Amino acid sequence: MNKVLEVRGLQRSFQQGGVTIHVLRGVNLDVAQGEIVALLGPSGSGKSTLLQAVGLLEGGFEGSIRINGEEAAQLDNDGRTRVRRDVLGFVYQFHHLLPDFNASENVILPQLIHGAEPVPARERAESLLSSLGLEHRLTHRPSQLSGGEQQRVAVARALANRPSLVLADEPTGNLDEATADIVFAEFLSLVRNEGSAALVATHNERIAGKMDRVLRLHEGVLE
Ligand code: ADP
Ligand code: MG
């Protein structure tokens, strides 16, 4: 099966007050096309550090990261920007929506940046938002939406450009338990329908158990 992500021997440490903290100590990880994988670990175990490396948001690591066969270390700045824009989608714990744009526009803009025409971009935004139950919230701004609705818009935005791999860092971690379960179920169903793969960091066993495979991050390696 085709791999969208192959990580080998990933190491990352931080210097803190003269002490070296080894956060990732040789992580190996594969994600196949269309596969949804949980990255489970308690707070401080290095989940965000791992996702930031895979998302090409931070250098400073050792080891190999291949995204759709492209080696991260061989990409220059433009190459990293291209992979982030064309191959990856991101969902964070806090929505990071643009406050001055409404729900539709927040999902349209990344498509326009990607080169889409305005009419199909709008149609796709409305279709993604509708599949998340937001057909009556298209012209609401983020501040006029509930936390669950804001995260749904962030999910639609992450999928707008049909990413091969969605990286999600505690995507429902900011929501109450009941809302988190509903939004997460909708996220899973939409990612599956779209055929994207996903790597989802969570500290929540129950949420992790809903994915195709669970990887546990423990003392800097995956079990
Ligand atoms: P998680 O997302 O699983 O909660 P993180 O990846 O955020 O964990 O952090 C893992 C560890 O790395 C923590 O001990 C944190 O303090 C440390 N860490 C993360 N980023 C930095 C940084 N920029 N400088 C120093 N230490 C960091
Ligand atoms: Mg984190």
Q: What is the spatial distance between Cα 45 and Cα 23, in angstroms, rounded to a whole number?
A: 7
What's the pLDDT at 67? Answer: 97
pLDDT over 90 at 156, yes or no: yes
Q: pLDDT digit string (tens) for 161-202?
A: 999 999 999 999 999 999 999 999 999 999 999 999 999 999
Q: For the chain, where are the E strands, in sequence order?
A: 3-16, 19-32, 36-40, 62-67, 70-71, 88-91, 165-169, 197-202, 213-218, 221-222
- Nearest ligand (C-alpha, residue 92): 2
Q: So what's the pLDDT on residue 58?
A: 86
User: What are the domain boundaries of the chain?
Assistant: 3-222
Contact between 171 and 39 (Cβ < 8 Å):
no
pLDDT higher than threshold 90 for residue 127:
yes
Listed in order, strand segments (DSSP E) in 72-126 are 88-91
Q: Look up tokens 């744009």; give the residue.
A: 101
Ligand 1 centroid from CA 45, angstroms: 7
Predicted confidence band of residue 1 (pLDDT cuts 50, 70, 90): low
Other CB atoms within a 10 A radius of the CB of residue 129 amount to 24
| pTM score | 0.96
- Ligand 1 close to Cβ of residue 48 (< 6 A): yes
Q: How far is the CA of 129 from the centre of ligand 1 (A)?
A: 33
Residue ranges in 55-102 assigned as alpha helix (H): 77-86
Looking at ligand 1, which residue's alpha carbon is closest to its atom 15?
44
Distance 213 CA to ligand 1 centre (A): 24
Q: From the CA of 23, which ligand is nearest?
A: 1
User: Per-residue confidence at 48, pLDDT binned at 50, 70, 90?
Assistant: very high
Q: What radius of gyration do the chain's Cα atoms show?
A: 17
Q: Is 106 in the pocket of ligand 1 (CB under 6 A)?
A: no
Nearest to 118 by CA among 104, 132, 129, 128: 104
For residues 73, 76, 78, 84, the Cα torsion angle rounded to the nearest 10 degrees is 10
CATH of domain 3-222: 3.40.50.300
